[in-house]
Amino acid sequence: MSIDIGRLEDQLLNMSAEGAPGREFCEAISELAGTGRFEQLRDVLPGIVYDELWARYRQDPAAFVAGWRKMAQEMRQGFIQHARQRLTSLTRLQQANEVAATPAWQEIQRALDGQQNDLLRAAIAIELLEMVEPALFRATQLRECVVASASSEDADRYLDEATRCYFYGLFTACAVMCRSVLEEAIKQKLPAALTRLVRTRYRNTATLGNLLHEVNNNLQMTGIDGDFPRIANQVNDAGKKAVHQGLLSEDEARLCLQNARQALELLLRG
């Protein structure tokens, strides 16, 4: 069965437009006011809100009805953009003293969405759908990482997270996790005597660079493949760049992940 991602995106956009928070609310106010049934709002609105709306309606009934009808349209047409802004407000720093002019329809939509969270739901759903095809392409560029001996549950989880970060475009995080998986795998592979030495020498805070230094100096004791330190060092360099120098590109993350997987195959040969 073929899954049409474009069709799913279109369906989601249509659902979001039809169910945009506040649209029906604004349409109802416009409809009741335009058909002489404003009094019915008294039963559904707080008294102070009703009184304020009634005062505005009496000033200019036609403009009042048109204004609420326009707000309903804006809520429908601008919902996706507003949803994305809502999600971004949680993922990026927000200046406390920054004053931004927020359209009235967005203020109402946000207030009415306080319990349902449809703004966040739509933004996350759209973002995940947009990731599908790029993630699929990246997944096809990898092969399975096949090893002769197991490492640890933590190492497996680190590798899983590193790989998924790459799939979903979190390239810098991918490199950081690649470094973590090699750290864990090496610790599990070291002979007991070398493990004690590392713990003492680095006071239980050995980095991947420290571990690779010890492995390189004790290859015969560890029985680790001689090519392992060279490839693992490339992973360490990418991880350090990710942490200290800036964001990584997709190509850099892919190379780092491929090197990490190759290093694990060498490390866990038997």
Which residue ranges form the domains of the chain, and what is each CATH number?
A: 5-90+105-125 (no CATH), 151-267 (1.20.120.330)
**How many angstroms separate the CA atoms of 205 and 186, rounded?**
14
Q: Is 130 left (phi over 0), alpha (psi -120 to 50) or beta?
A: alpha
Instruction: Please write the tens of the pLDDT for every residue from 178-213.
Output: 999 999 999 999 999 999 999 999 999 999 999 999
Q: Which amino acid is at 92?
A: R
Cα–Cα–Cα angle for 15, 19, 24, rounded to 5 degrees: 150
CA-based diameter of the chain, in Å? 91
Instruction: Please write the tens of the pLDDT for every residue from 99-136.
Output: 677 898 999 999 989 888 999 999 999 999 999 999 99
Instruction: Please write the tens of the pLDDT for every residue from 64-98.
Output: 999 999 999 999 999 999 999 999 999 999 888 76
Calculate mean pLDDT across residues 10-22: 90
pLDDT of residue 99: 61
Say whether pLDDT at 144 is over 90. Answer: yes
Q: What is the pTM of this model?
A: 0.87
**How many angstroms separate the CA atoms of 180 and 1, rounded?**
38
pLDDT of residue 101: 78
Q: Which residues contact 204 (CB under 8 A, 6 or more apart)?
A: none
CA-nearest of 90, 147, 81 to 109 is 81
Instruction: Please write the tens of the pLDDT for every residue from 220-247.
Output: 999 999 999 999 999 999 999 999 999 9
CA-nearest of 34, 102, 104, 53 to 74 is 104
